[in-house]
Structure 1
Amino acid sequence: MTPRSKLRRLTRSAGAGEVSPDWASLDRDLVELIGWRVLAGDLQDYVRLRAVCAHWSASTAAPRGRGVLDPRFHPRRWMMLPEGHGLYPGHPDLGGFVRFFNLSTGAFVRAHLPLLDDHVVLDSADGLLLLHRDHDTAIRVLHPFTGDVAELPPLASLLPQMEPNRYGELNKRSKLMKFCTSITVSSTGAITVMLVLHFLHRVAHATTGDQRWTLSAWNLKPLIKPVSFQGKLYALQVQPILRMCKVYIYKINPPCPNANEGPSHLPLPEKIAECPLEKFIYMLNFVECGAELLLVAYSDASHSRLVVSRFADLVRGKNEPVTSIGDNAFFIYERCLCVSVSPNKGSKSLASIPPNSIICWHSVPVSSGFAGPTRFEQYDLGTGIWTPASDGDIRQRPPPSPHTLIHHIFTCCSRRYWNKGLMVCRETEPIWMVKQDLRHAA
């Protein structure tokens, strides 16, 4: 969008008899329509549009106050970027500022987030940050750019619902600190959060206004690879059947309101697809790419070839592998990111990331044909060739400094490292040196 200063220069430079475009006099409804179209692309572009002039600002909805309540304002393609060097979000040396990276454009912005002085970031969904407050374990949903916050009950309200005498108090708390998050907003503005608790194999849910979190009566075991997509949760299950194995895909819908205004009811997981395991020898994870959900897996026992399948095809009973992901690169780990590396954007920060590639831990085949040592590598989906993803062996030791953008983005795929201020390294345990009783397993 053209900044206001440039509009003024264009107006002044119009010669005699020429009519300069009077952008500020555009009809209010037309400006509003243009604003919604821009917002469908990126929130920061929408903010720039509103800054052009007072008329455009008055004709479009302000993000502040709506950042969490209106899904259109969620910063979906923005990811909090790890600083490395032990500078966790909220570290005093950062002065309350945290960097964010746009997965589509490669742009960087800094946001002032003083809340992180006494909160820890546990997860991110749709670009929103899920925070855990230190003194009372309250869960809060934060929009990093507008400052809007949604309040949810203390996570400690789940402790009485856990099996008694199975865990010590500290262990019980740590079992609640690792999860996959899904956020939905109802037409009335009620915000519901679902947490897939990895260690408990169950789902907890709460809505703004609730007094406590509710733990599902059923457990997820052995559902694996949970992912949030369009307000729902999806997970895989591998079941042996006679001498074969099948892969099932389950969907977990948000809780249903209770007619008697009691605690909402969480439906049972719904099986929506199945396919023989021979199609997917080893599943890596789901990844969201545009408006699609894709599944990345190894297609052979030696872990030498990757296959990408559309989630929608699997639900329809089809399995037509995706042969190209275009100018995108997938980062696959505990959670997954799709980064657009189109050369037409001119972003120097993305030049080191190869397009049509998948970056992950790769088990290198050995002579026997089975998987051997694990390395950090990238797979070219077009040629089927594996190459190192970075300099240095980040499996044995942290990556050399200065860290590359690949290291930063891959660290975003591990909640513990991403939140700790360390670059991913399998041999480095991200142990908190401050507030250990509140940060355990975070």
Structure 2
Amino acid sequence: MVYTGRRDWPNLPTALIDDIADRLLSHDVSEYFRLRSACKEWRRCTADAREGCNHLDPRFRPRRWIMLSNGTDGDGRRFLNLSTGASARVDLPELSRHHLEASTEGLLLLRDKASHAVRLLNPLTRALTDLPPVTADLGGAYAVWTGPFQSAARIIYAGVSDETSPSSVVLLMADRHLGRAIAYAKPGDQRWAVMDDEMWRADNPMWCRFSSASTLQGRFYFATLEGHVMHARLCPEPRVVPVVVEQPNTDHNMFCYLVPPDNDDHRCGGGMLMVRYYLSLDHLSADERRIMKRRRKVMDVIRVEHHVRENRWNLIQVFEVDVAGKRLVPVEDIGRHRAVFVGDVACFSFSARRFPCVAGNAIHMGALGARCPPVGVRYLADKTADPSFVFTTDVPGFLDCISVKQ
């Protein structure tokens, strides 16, 4: 028998709509927005991500979306979903009156060009969250935040911590000339608070020690130039908590990059990684250097063309961050379908199944300016490396800014 009756789609049971909405949110938040735009009844019985109390709701963050272009394309920017491969061009007139300072979980941290006000933009919903102003009484945080945009000495990382309710935004701000600070605030707060911890104080307070940052299961972590992994904990007492501190200090000869997990549930695999890049082998003994150079085909040591003779031998190591065990677990294989991209602006990974033109089981390295390492791609399976390549900021397609194994 063929059913020919009319389906009353707008008046589906609320429980069924809730179940569909939850499934869409776990897949891609943009699909949830399409559900709400289908009809008035579905929109009425689902939460509006644009409401003030929902701006930082973990369910509505475009976590796996990244902005591909920060070039001059009017107010338009291109975004890519690392999980689904979906892409979208979004008009963001907000960028004409704001500096884009950082990105976290798909959200864009903005600074008003005129007032230096702090705002968080969801590029998919266009929801704009106002945060407290960074005022002069915050000392180093104020100096860095209001400092020259795109200064080579200035670094700002942002993260969202779900340790508070509502969630808080954490800023890592540093400038070699103006100092550094960790500030945090949530919507509704009157002012930012500065995390001031004795163990965070270094002998040289003017040196920028942040290296990269990542969020894992609602907690905000960052790496230091010494190779440590720290947790910017907000509850029960705001302080910097060391997670991994056993790494050697290499006199700033090492860059460390934290790569967010492929899946927010660490038990499902694809956990948070640390990629360490040594500019030389000076941290090793003479015997260790000789052994690594002889066995370079089975180790991670790389010979590169470099104008500094001492820096012709480089070392790349990959670790999984075991937060519970407070250790780094060496990783020689990240899976034939996982591709990791690391750099000063962003670190991320995705499945090469979704993007077959991208080499899997490889570390794609990119950075800006003098920090750019002389290695483009490190293939973990055969221990080979491609020469460095140029990243562009405004490209007609994603394929133009990635490397392909020939």
TM-score, normalised relative to structure 2: 0.70
Aligned partner of 1:252 among 232, 237, 243: 232
Q: Superposition pairs for residues 89-100 of structure 1, below 5 Å?
A: 94=74, 96-100=75-79
> How much has 1:360 moved relative to structure 2?
0.8
1:161 matched to 2:149? The reply is: no
Query: 1:37 maps to what in 2?
Result: 23
1:69 matched to 2:56? The reply is: yes
Aligned partner of 1:78 among 59, 65, 82: 65
Once the two structures are superposed, residues 61-102 of structure 1 have per-residue CA deviations (whole angstroms, 9 ceiling, x without a partner) of 233326513111000111122154xx1xxxxx61x3322221
Assess, with a 3 A threshold, how the Cα gap between structure 1 residues 135 and 272 changes in structure 2: closer, same or farther. same
Q: Superposition pairs for residues 21-420 of structure 1, below 5 Å?
A: 22=7, 24=9, 26-65=12-51, 67-82=54-69, 84=71, 87=72, 94=74, 96-155=75-134, 157-158=135-136, 161-162=139-140, 178-185=155-162, 188-189=165-166, 191-199=167-175, 200-218=179-197, 219=200, 221=202, 223-229=209-215, 230-236=218-224, 238=226, 248-254=228-234, 266-267=238-239, 269-277=240-248, 282-290=254-262, 291=264, 292-298=271-277, 301=281, 303-304=301-302, 306-312=316-322, 315-317=325-327, 319-343=329-353, 345=354, 350-361=355-366, 374-388=373-387, 390=389, 394=390, 405=398, 408=401
Structure 2 CA distance for aligned equivalents of residues 26 and 381 of structure 1: 51
Assess, with a 3 A threshold, how the Cα gap between structure 1 residues 173 and 237 changes in structure 2: closer, same or farther. closer
Question: Does structure 2 conserve the Cα–Cα contact (< 8 Å) formed by 1:357 and 1:380?
Answer: yes
Assess, with a 3 A threshold, how the Cα gap between structure 1 residues 128 and 152 changes in structure 2: closer, same or farther. same
Once the two structures are superposed, residues 182-202 of structure 1 have per-residue CA deviations (whole angstroms, 9 ceiling, x without a partner) of 22356753x422211122232
**One-letter identity of the residue aligned with 1:359:** H
Structure 2 CA distance for aligned equivalents of residues 75 and 163 of structure 1: 27
Question: Does structure 2 conserve the Cα–Cα contact (< 8 Å) formed by 1:202 and 1:220?
Answer: no
Unaligned runs of 5+ in 1: 1-15, 88-92, 239-246, 257-264, 363-372, 411-442
Once the two structures are superposed, residues 89-117 of structure 1 have per-residue CA deviations (whole angstroms, 9 ceiling, x without a partner) of xxxx61x3322221223322122322222
Once the two structures are superposed, residues 39-70 of structure 1 have per-residue CA deviations (whole angstroms, 9 ceiling, x without a partner) of 01211122233445555444432333265131
**One-letter identity of the residue aligned with 1:204:** A
**One-letter identity of the residue aligned with 1:358:** I
Structure 2 CA distance for aligned equivalents of residues 317 and 83 of structure 1: 36
Structure 1 CA distance for aligned equivalents of residues 386 and 65 of structure 2: 28
Q: Secondary structure at the match of 1:202?
A: strand
Structure 1 CA distance for aligned equivalents of residues 149 and 39 of structure 2: 54
Assess, with a 3 A threshold, how the Cα gap between structure 1 residues 400 and 206 changes in structure 2: closer, same or farther. closer
Structure 2 CA distance for aligned equivalents of residues 144 and 123 of structure 1: 13
User: RCO higher in 1 or 2 (8 Å CA, sep ≥ 6)?
Assistant: 1
Unaligned runs of 5+ in 2: 265-270, 282-292, 294-300, 303-314
**Which stretch has the larger CA shift, 19-28 or 127-136?**
19-28
> How much has 1:386 moved relative to structure 2?
1.0
**One-letter identity of the residue aligned with 2:89:** R
TM-score, normalised relative to structure 1: 0.65
> How much has 1:248 moved relative to structure 2?
3.7
**One-letter identity of the residue aligned with 2:318:** V
Assess, with a 3 A threshold, how the Cα gap between structure 1 residues 45 and 271 changes in structure 2: closer, same or farther. same
Assess, with a 3 A threshold, how the Cα gap between structure 1 residues 315 and 187 changes in structure 2: closer, same or farther. closer
**Which stretch has the larger CA shift, 292-301 or 68-77?**
292-301
> How much has 1:148 moved relative to structure 2?
1.7
Structure 1 CA distance for aligned equivalents of residues 164 and 377 of structure 2: 42
Task: Say how many residue pairs are matched.
Answer: 344
> How much has 1:22 moved relative to structure 2?
4.5
Assess, with a 3 A threshold, how the Cα gap between structure 1 residues 175 and 213 changes in structure 2: closer, same or farther. farther
Question: Does structure 2 conserve the Cα–Cα contact (< 8 Å) formed by 1:182 and 1:195?
Answer: yes
> How much has 1:224 moved relative to structure 2?
3.6
> How much has 1:127 moved relative to structure 2?
0.9
Structure 1 CA distance for aligned equivalents of residues 245 and 92 of structure 2: 44
> How much has 1:293 moved relative to structure 2?
1.3
Q: Which one has the largest radius of gyration?
A: 1
Percent identity for Structure 1 against Structure 2: 23
Assess, with a 3 A threshold, how the Cα gap between structure 1 residues 125 and 278 changes in structure 2: closer, same or farther. closer
**One-letter identity of the residue aligned with 1:357:** A
Structure 2 CA distance for aligned equivalents of residues 81 and 72 of structure 1: 23
Could you say what the CA RMSD is over the residues aligned between the two structures, in angstroms?
4.0
